[in-house]
Every structure is written in C-alpha cells, then in structure tokens.
Amino acid sequence: MDFDPMAMIAALPQIGQASLTNLWIAVVATAIALVIATGITVLRALRIRVITTVLDIVVSAVRGTPILIQIFLFYYGLPTLGLDIPPLIAGFCAVAFNSSMFVSELLRGGLTGMDRGPIEAAVALALPRRVIWSQVVLPQLYLRVLPALVGEITMVVKATVLLSSITVVEALRTAQQLASANFRFLEMMLAAGILLALINLAIAFIGAVIEGRLAVRRG
Amino acid sequence: MNAPVLSARGVTKIFGSFTGLDGVDIDVARGEIVAVIGPSGCGKSTLLRCLVQLEEPNSGTILLEGQPFGSVAADGRRQSTRTIDRIRPKIGFVFQSLNLWPHMTARDNVAKGLISVRRMPVAEARERALALIARFGLAAKADRRPADLSGGERQRIAICRALAMEPVALLFDEPTSALDPELVLGVRDILRELAGTGIGMVIATHDLRFARAATDRVIFLDRGRIAEQGPTQATLDNPQSSRLQAFIKSVDHI
Amino acid sequence: MRFDLSIIFDNWQLFANGLLTTLLIAVIALPLAFVIAIPIAFMKLSRIWPLRALAIVYIEAFRNAPFLIVLYVIFYALPTLHIRLPALVVGTGVLCLYASSYLAEIIRGAFLAVPKGQLEAARAVGMSRLQGIVQIVAPQMLSGLIPPSTNMGIILIKETSVLALISVAELTYQGMSVQAATFAAFEVFLVVGGLYWLLCATLSAIATSAEKRSARSIAGARRASVADSFLSLEPRGRK
C-alpha cells in the first residue's frame, strides 16, 4: 500500500490551522443558533396559531432536508435575489440557521422535563412574562440542555466541512488544495479527519467535565 | 442418614477489595429447609447466587447430589459453561424480584425452560406448565401476563417456573420482602409442601418471624462468614454468639 | 424574483433518477448497517477488553470524524489497496459503516435497558447466555429500538446527499447539475429539498405507526399544571 506517513504529518500544521476555522464557525454558529432557538421557544409559548404553524413548518422543513441542500440554497440562491454575499457568510448563515432548528427541539425537550415548581410560583405571583422567562425558565433550561448543546457543537463542526463545496477555506478544502499539489490525497484526508476528530473529542471531553461539575453542584 | 442434596465447602467470593463471602460451608438435606439470615450486606444473596453459579465463586466446591457443580472435583478447574448451564436448572432459583418475563403469559413463563432447554414439544410443555400452575391454584390465570397478576400470584408462578425443571433443590432470595404480611404464611405452606416432596431448600431472608415459622435450620452470616448455625427455634431463642444476639435485638426493635 | 417551475418539469427525469438512486442507497444501507451494528454492540458489551476496545475505537471514529472526510479517506484508500469499486458502491458502503456505529450504540442502549434479572432468570432455568439474549432479552429490546432506529434512518436519508460530492448520481447531484445548467437555484433546491422532506416524513409516519403498535407503555400521566400552560406544552382546559 502506497502510504506516506511523513507527508501526512507534514500537512498537520497547515490543516490544523485551517481546522480552527471549522471550530470557530461551529462555536459562533451554535451560539447564534441558541439565540434564535430561544426566540422560537418564546414565540411558541405565545400560542398564536399562525405563528406556531409557521414555526412548525420551518422547523420540520429544515430538520427534514439535508444540510448540504440548505447550504446550496444560501450560496447559490441568494445571489439570484441580488444579494452578493461572500461564501463564508452564506455558509455560516446556512449552518447557523440549520442548527437553530435542532437546538429549538433540544430546548423543547428540555422544557418538558423541567421542574414546574418555580414556574408555578412565578405565575402565581403574577410576575411579568419577560421576567419569568429571563429569570426563571431560561437559566434553568440552558443548564438542563448544556450537555446536549455541547453535542450539537460537535455536530456543527462535522457539518462545516461541507462548506468546502462552496469554496470556503477550512480544513477539508485546505487538504484538497494540498493534495492537488502533492497528489497525496489519502494522507491529506487522513490528516484532516484526525484533526477534526480530535477537536470533537476535546469538545466532548470539555462537555463531560462541565456536566460533572454541574451534577456536583445540583446533587 | 441422608446424604445432603446440596453441599458446599469453602465458598469464597471477592468483589475487588471487598470480601463478600469468606469460606462458607453449607449442607442441605433432602426435604430440609435452611434459612440464611444476617444484616444487609452479610452475603446472603451472594451465597445463593454462588450456589447456583450465577456468580462464579473465587474458590470453594459445590456438590449437587454428590456431583461437582461449578468446578471439577479433582483439580478445582472450572467446568465448561455448557456443563454448568446443563446442571444449573437442577437447583431452582426464585429471585427477590421474581424476574418473570413480561412479554409472555404465566403458562409460557413456566413452559419456556422445558421448551428451550429440554427441547420438549411445545404442546406437552404447556400441558405440564398448566398442571403445575393448577397445583398452586392459579389455573384460571394461566394465560394472563405477569403484569395482570398480584404479587403473591406472581411469586407462585415464579416458583412453578423453577419447579418445571424438576429441581432437587430450591433457593429463595428474600421470598417475603415484597409480600403483604398476610401472604407470608402462605409461603410457609408452600415451602412445607415442597419439602414434603423431598426438595432441599435454602431461604435467604431478613424476616426472623418467617424463618421461625417456615425453616428447620438457620445459618447466621456476618460479613461473609458463618457466625452461628443450628436448629431454627433453638438458635433464635438462645443465640450463643454476641453477634447473633445483637442482630436479633436490632431486628426485634422494629 | 421569478420562480419558474418549468425548469423542474423539463428535467423531471433527472430528478426522478436521482430520487430513485437516493432511495436505493438508503434501503440497502440501513438494514445492512443494522446487521453490522449487532456484533459491534455486543463487542462493546463484552467482558473481553480487546473486543471492547476495538468496538469503542470504531464507534468513536465514526462519531467524531466528519462523514465526508471518512468517505474521502476510504475512497482514496481503496485504489492503493488495488480495489476498484464504483463511487456508488463505496458511498453506500461507507454510509453503511457510518450508520452502523450509531446503531451499535442504540442497540447497546436498548440491551442495557432490559433489566439484568431477565437474563439471569433465563439462565436459572438452564438456558445458555446466548439463548437467553436471543429468546428473552431481544424481544424486550424491540419496542425500545424503533424510535432511535427510525431517527437514524432519517439521518441516513439526509446524509446520502453528501455522496453527491464524490459524484454519485443521487438526488443532490442531479440538483447540482441542473442548477449549474440553469442557474435556477431556488427552484431546483427547494424542490430537491421538498423531495427529501417527503422521504423523511414518510419514514417518520411509518415509524410512528410501528411504535404505536408495539409500545405497551404505561405512560405516566403527569398532572397538567399552570406552568405547562405558560410554557405552552399543554393546552389549557380540556385535551
């Protein structure tokens, strides 16, 4: 088998640097997704049928279609509307938008299992909606879904490699560029794969540590 | 004198740094009912599980009707899993949580061993199962699922399931813990009846009143070792060891 | 903005072919993945630590590395081993392995969810461990397997779109080529997305009915509270 470990190792620094792009896109996109998902959650609670139906359709559409298609819609579709956006921004928006739908379902799941007591007390005290949400519900909710959110970040990291198909320079694209020069496709891909897997393992580890700390505090 | 139907010497079981059982000997004669009592964690359940080889003892020999079970007598090597699986049903085991199979009817629970292990034809196995269940007065409920039976009924089905394999010994892990008090004497009657057919029994229990009422001999385990043993009434009325005295006192205070 | 559906109709054959290919890939990959997942799940449950270690490495590799990169790695590795296979086969195979790693965890979870005593009771009447697992534990695992497995099926259907990037002529690839020719991005990708959505929704519907039929769940009905209304998880008044 024709495999050159040295070529793979030599590529690590460059691909490693590029994989930081994947990482920051994932982290920022997930953060924005959390904001959007929170908005969706609050909107749902208003129980205005039109809004809820629209939300249901959008969430279902985004969760039921491949993220690659959504990336293409943003990248190829927006220019037809006259919006000239750099690939990175288009890709970032697609990823953030996609993630926000999944996070909204995470929040929904977190809501059903939450402690009813503090909310009942707040409602009984006739506290304004905004306060109940920001002081009682959301803090508790975010803590509850934190482990799942960390999991979501790893999912998004994996999704960011798809941005290579719309010319965004991240780890995979860098690997492809190097490979087209040195023809060591397997080694370059392995390098990218190992680096991204390590990033995800590190994120998962951090998540486990956070979860442990939280359990100690609660327990 | 009867040769013991079940006999164990030097049973030891170690869990990491914790010694669950330390060189326990036990003999059960045909038709004899032996109680194993002691505080929680003393090793009662562990002993029963070792006797039936659901746990592998670290050392010790077990003889069932004089034949080795678990290890080859000569050199102490462990018998093959197949051999152990084959001998195991001769010692029936009634779990504390009964462990009836929820997706099968009472009758099928009882017949399952005959069908899968003895390769008995299904119809014949189900007939036998029904006959056994009828002996315990539950014929009407034979085609119900365990979830539809009461606690006492479920226990009787669990006993039938063990009896279907025609064991020579029966082990009971805390048979009265999940039962309403008025059913406890019913269990005693079942045990007496089974003893009458020659089955030797070992009952792990924390219920001293039940032990008095239902058993012939009592073994008191304390931290994995036999601290005292003897005929049930005599031993419980006149405990010799300080440990047993303390134990009886602590239980009576409830 | 013009929305010209005629572009779709003109190219309907390409889309139909793509859809069929996607369906073919999914229908082959998912059951096969299940078959592969079973031994891996039991390897991870095994008391023999090298088997456990192998299973863990397999599962973690697929869970942490992006699917596209794993696809490329295997795609480029095969020729160096002098194995020449069409992209469709490679793609379906890697997808199958990818799904198997998740399914292995699902199977393992379903197995562990069955109380330990069930298997012990089987052994107490003389069944071997294997008999007990197959005849007593497995039937009790089934209802717990349906929701996560169909979820995996939906994920698999969506993941097939990645195969377009190694030029497998499935639905996304057809969409890409029509878009490249016509620049009708919205028309093409909205319709393509819609077709994927239909596939996923169908699978989801089948799953829900299968779940209803098999589940004998004793649903613990929690008393509805004011908090539920506030969060809008349950309607006020009658249900």
Residue of C nearest to B87 (CA): C126
Write down the pLDDT at residue C219.
Answer: 37
C-alpha span between B100 and B92 (Å, rounded): 14
Looking at residue A133, its pLDDT comes to 84
C-beta neighbour count of B51 within 10 angstroms? 27
Domains and CATH numbers, chain A: 5-218 (1.10.3720.10)
B59: β partners: B12
Å between C113 CA and nearest CA of chain B: 14
Which of A11, A3, A2, A5 has its CA nearest to residue A180? Answer: A11
Share of chain C above pLDDT 90, in %: 74
- Contact flag B54-C136 (C-beta cutoff 8 Å): no
Alpha carbon of B252: minimum distance to chain C alpha carbons (Å): 32
Chain C: closest CA distance from residue A89 (Å): 18
Chains B and C touch (3+ CB pairs under 8 A): yes
Per residue in C137-188, pLDDT (tens digit) is: 999 998 889 889 999 999 999 999 999 999 999 999 999 999 999 888 999 9
Which portions of chain A are predicted below pLDDT 70? 1, 217-219
* pLDDT of res. B66: 87
Is it true that domain C19-217 has CATH number 1.10.3720.10?
yes
Q: Is A192 on the interface with C (CB under 8 A)?
A: yes
Span C8-33, mean pLDDT? 93
Query: For residue B86, which residues of chain C lie inside 8 Å, CB to CB?
Result: 126
A214 min Cα distance to partner chain C (Å): 24
> Average of pLDDT values for B143-149?
93
Asked if B117's CB is within 8 angstroms of C127's CB, the reply is yes
Longest dimension (CA), chain A: 72
| Beta carbons of C193 and A61 less than 8 Å apart | yes
Query: What integer pLDDT is reported at residue C218 of this predicted model?
Result: 35
Contact A66 C231 (CB under 8 A): no
Q: What is the pLDDT of residue C220?
A: 35
Q: Which contacts (CB < 8 Å, 24+ apart) does range A86-91 have?
A: A87/A163, A87/A166, A87/A167, A87/A168, A88/A163, A88/A168, A90/A166, A91/A25, A91/A160, A91/A163, A91/A166, A91/A168
Contacts of residue B22, defined as CB under 8 A and 6 or more positions apart, other chains included, come to B12, B223, B224, B225
For chain C, give the mean pLDDT.
89
Please answer whether residues A135 and A66 qualify as being in contact, where contact means their C-beta atoms are separated by less than 8 angstroms.
no
Percent residues over pLDDT 70 in chain B: 96
CA distance B164 to chain C (A): 9
pLDDT at C159: 97
Which residue in the block uniquely carries the two structure tokens 């613990």? C220
Label residue B177 by pLDDT band (50, 70, 90).
Answer: confident
Structural domain spans, chain C: 19-217
- The one-letter amino acid at A4: D
User: Looking at the predicted structure, is the pLDDT value of residue C17 above 50?
Assistant: yes
Residue B223 has pLDDT above 50, yes or no: yes
For residue C137, the one-letter residue type is V
Contact B116 C135 (CB under 8 A): yes
Partners of chain A (3+ Cβ pairs below 8 A): C
pLDDT of residue A143: 87
What ranges in B122-180 are assigned the alpha helix state H? 122-135, 151-163
Give yes or no for a contact between B25 and B208, defined as CB atoms under 8 angstroms apart.
no
Structure tokens at A142: 């975010």
DSSP string, C4-54: -THHHHHTHHHHHHHHHHHHHHHHHHHHHHHHHHHHHHHHHH-SSHHHHHH
| Order of strands across the sheet that contains B59-64 | B18-28, B6-15, B59-64, B67-68
pLDDT band at C224 (very low <50, low <70, confident <90, very high): low
Letter for the amino acid at B122? V
Q: From A175, which residue of chain C is nearest by alpha-carbon distance?
A: C69
Neighbours of chain B (3+ CB pairs under 8 A): C
| Beta-ladder partners of B92 | B170
- Mind spelling out the 3-state secondary structure of B52-75? CCCCCCCEEEEEECCEECCECCCC
Is C124 close to B103, i.e. CB distance below 8 A? no
Query: Which of A73, A158, A196 lies at the smallest CB-CB distance from C189?
Result: A73
Whether C7 contacts chain A with CB within 8 A: no
> Minimal Cα–Cα distance from C123 to chain B, Å?
7
pLDDT bracket for residue C210 (50, 70, 90): confident
Interface of C with A in 207-236 (CB under 8 A): 225-228, 230-233
The answer, for C66 touching chain A at a CB cutoff of 8 Å, is yes
pLDDT tens, position by position, A135-159: 888 888 998 898 899 999 999 999 9
Higher pLDDT, A1 or B109: B109
Do B and A have ≥3 inter-chain CB pairs under 8 A? no
**What phi and psi values does residue B160 have, to the nearest 5 degrees?**
-55, -45
Chain B contact probe: residue of C125, C131, C216, C218 with most B CBs at under 10 A: C125
Is pLDDT above 80 for C236? no
Q: What is the pLDDT of residues C82-121, one digit of tens each?
A: 999 999 999 999 999 999 999 999 999 999 999 999 999 9
Identify which of B96, B87, B88 has the alpha carbon closest to the alpha carbon of residue B158: B96
Is residue C182 less than 8 Å (CB to CB) from chain B?
A: no
Contact B197, B190 (CB under 8 A): no
pLDDT the model gives residue C213 = 75
Instruction: Give dist(CA A43, CA A51) in Å, integer.
Output: 7
Mean per-residue pLDDT, B21-31:
93
Residue C234 has pLDDT above 70, yes or no: no
Question: Rounded distance, CA C165 to CA C94, Å?
Answer: 14
- Contacts A–C by Cβ distance under 8 A: 143
Chain C residues inside the 8 Å CB shell of A3: 80
pLDDT in the model for residue B76: 64
Q: Which CATH architecture has domain B6-101+169-252?
A: 3-Layer(aba) Sandwich (3.40)
